[in-house]
Structure 1
Amino acid sequence: MLLLLLAVLGMIFGLRDARAQTVTQQVGPVTVSEGDVLELGCNYSYSATVYLYWYVQYPGQGLQLLLRYYLGDPIVKGIKGFEAEFKKSESSFNLRKYPVHWSDSAVYFCAVSGTVPGTAGGAEHKLCET
């Protein structure tokens, strides 16, 4: 039986002059058997309208955007068979893939960004230390 080791880290996007926002994910590596369902939790804290993202970083590569949510259908389809479900009542944006393959071994990042009227400039971002 082949086991996959998936690392997860949280990413915070902070906007200048915006309210505090955070992202919480599972800490450390996640082990999943090939062919099983991969589920990674992501909870956020932000009271305004949010953009939510899942990124992946495969070994030796840069970050790739898997999927993003901003209004609309709560089930978001991404690349390579990934999907995420937005649940406003639980402040969650959980990532899923079935079936998972050994090639899905990577570091996964959940991110949140908000919109604030009158905010100029881009978002600052940093990795959460977990």
Structure 2
Amino acid sequence: MILVFTLMLEVFLFLRGTGAQSVTQPDSLITVPEGDAVELRCKYSSSVPPYLFWYVQYPNQGLQLLLKYTSGNSFVSGIRGFGAEFRKNETSFHLRKTSVHLSDSAKYFCALSDTVTETAGGAEHKHTETQQLKRPSISACVIFRKLVCCLM
């Protein structure tokens, strides 16, 4: 038997401030057999260096942070075997997992936040790790929704 789950895309865009930040998902439908690899693509647009996040929401639960990129190493390992690679030149932050399971069926959110919170006299003030956790500022979200789960 092959277990297949299907993800469908909904895009919600929330713009704030004077610079437009956004994330987009190029694929509208992804079908993956259980045990296969999956890639959930996320492209972003930002006028300043972004902080990038992947969140997951399992049925009847709240949002859970899978992983985040703030700077440094371009590959980020997350929970449950997920990973993502920040590619500045391609403006992408694709979520990957080498072997998916039915328990991975959920809503997946790609999000970004600009790193500059205020500018005064030309000086930029960046988020500290504590500020980011207390006041996450998601400018845009991409939502993957699990639609179909079937046994074949």
TM-score range, shorter chain: 0.7 to 0.9
What are the equivalent positions in structure 2 for 1:1-130 lying under 5 Å apart?
1-10=2-11, 12=13, 14-16=15-17, 18-116=18-116, 118=118, 122=135, 123=137, 125=139, 127=141
> Structure 2: where are the runs of 5+ without partners?
120-124, 126-130, 145-152
Distance 1:108 1:82 in 2: 12
The answer (yes or no) to whether the contact 1:57–1:106 under 8 Å persists in 2 is yes
Structure showing greater Rg: 2
Please identify runs of 4+ aligned residues in structure 1 that moved more than 3 A: 7-16, 26-29, 119-122, 124-130
Normalised by the length of structure 2, the TM-score is 0.73
Partner Cα distance (2:23, 2:62) in 1: 21
The structure-2 alpha-carbon separation of the partners of 1:82 and 1:105, relative to structure 1 and needing over 3 Å to count, comes to same
CA distance in 1, matches of 2:56, 2:80: 11
Deviation at 1:30, TM superposition (A): 2.3
CA RMSD of aligned residues (A): 2.7
CA distance 1:83–1:126, shift in 2 (3 Å) = closer
Distance in 1 of aligned mates of 2:96 and 2:138: 27
Counterpart contact for 1:5–1:29, Cα < 8 Å: yes
**How many residue pairs were aligned?**
129
What displacement does 1:91 show? 0.3
Gaps of 5+ in 1: none
8 Å contact 1:11–1:125 — kept in the other structure? no
Q: In 2, Cα distance between the equivalents of 1:65 and 1:30?
A: 22
TM normalised by structure 1 equals 0.84
Amino acid at match of 1:58: Y
